Amino acid sequence: MLKAVERKIEQYIIDLDEPEILGLYAKLPVGKRLRAKLILRIAGSNLRVVKTAAIVEMIHAASLLHDDVIDDADVRRNKPSINALYGNKTAIMFGDILYSKGFFELGEIDPKIAQIISNAVVQLSLGELRDVSLSQSFTTNKDAYLKMIYQKTASLIEASAESAALLAGKKPEPYRIYGRNLGLAFQMIDDILDITSDSATLGKPALHDFEEGKTTLPYIYLYEKLDTTEQEKFKFMHGKKLKKNEQEWIKVQMKNHKIIEQSYAEAKALIDEAITLMSTEGEDALSTIAKEMIERDF
């Protein structure tokens, strides 16, 4: 049924009646469609469900277009980013168009669902702002990190699950928690992969987050384990292009202190909680998609 979502997105793009946008859309790498999959798994596949899934994916695509401008990223999913191909102005405006069209179509679905999704986009934007602010200095505040990833990533996944539950006439609360946990775990894994994956698999340079000034969960845990001299050395490397030996040093420290295992366990605990919650709702089928969040290498 994911095909129906793809067709709906294409239809929304064609509605715009603007050949330039069609061309840009063709250059947009198709992602994992995780949010759409989640919505379809929870709510089946009637027209309202397909439309909601298409709208959420358009909003998500818009947020990544803007994020790549903010992060100055040349690559997205192993392909050149829109900002790299056509410049920041085009990427921002294309994002605005996808986002506004999504909102326009959302108005037709249901006022409650429109409210849930639009609130998630407010959170998403606040989260991105928080991410940028946090990366201005070396921060190892885990609560601040968790709040930021909740806003930046989990909010839209949470809203997707909750909206899908409402569309299917199911009680929303457990689905909201399920979506929230999946979203948090997803971002934690994303942050782990930035360290463990090679750049070819990841579609962006490895250890890029730390160079960009981001102190994600593994870096927070590593800092806690280092002695004072090592902490100073570590802080000095933050927010700069890393030399080969510095990259190695970070990776060796991570290995010695079992940081990846510790971070992965935290993501897995969230997924296990989500799976248990869904099985009490008789939704065992929702465990597969939850496992996919953490069992991935890109």
12 contributes a contact to ligand FPP by CB under 6 A: no
Least Å distance, CB 67 to Mg ion, is: 4
Binding residues for Mg ion (CB under 5 A): 67, 71
Least Å distance, CB 256 to ligand FPP, is: 26
Length in residues, the chain: 298
Least Å distance, CB 176 to ligand FPP, is: 18
Decide: 207 and 250 in contact? Cβ < 8 Å: yes
By beta-carbon proximity to ligand FPP, the closer residue of 128 and 283 is 128
DSSP labels, 47-113: HHHHHHHHHHHHHHHHHHHHHHHHTT-SEETTEE-HHHHH-HHHHHHHHHHHHHHHHHHHTTT-HHH
Contacting ligand FPP within 114-153 (CB under 6 A): 121, 124-125, 128, 152-153
Largest CA distance in the chain: 61
Contacting ligand FPP within 209-248 (CB under 6 A): none
Residue 146 contact among Mg ion, ligand FPP, none, beta carbon within 5 to 8 Å by kind: none
By beta-carbon proximity to ligand FPP, the closer residue of 98 and 167 is 98
Distance in angstroms (rounded) separating the CA atoms of residues 95 and 105? 16
By beta-carbon proximity to ligand FPP, the closer residue of 194 and 283 is 194
Tokens of 108: 């037709």
Distance in angstroms (rounded) separating the CA atoms of residues 166 and 88? 37
Contact positions toward ligand FPP, by CB under 6 A? 59, 62-63, 66-67, 70-71, 95, 99, 121, 124-125, 128, 152-153
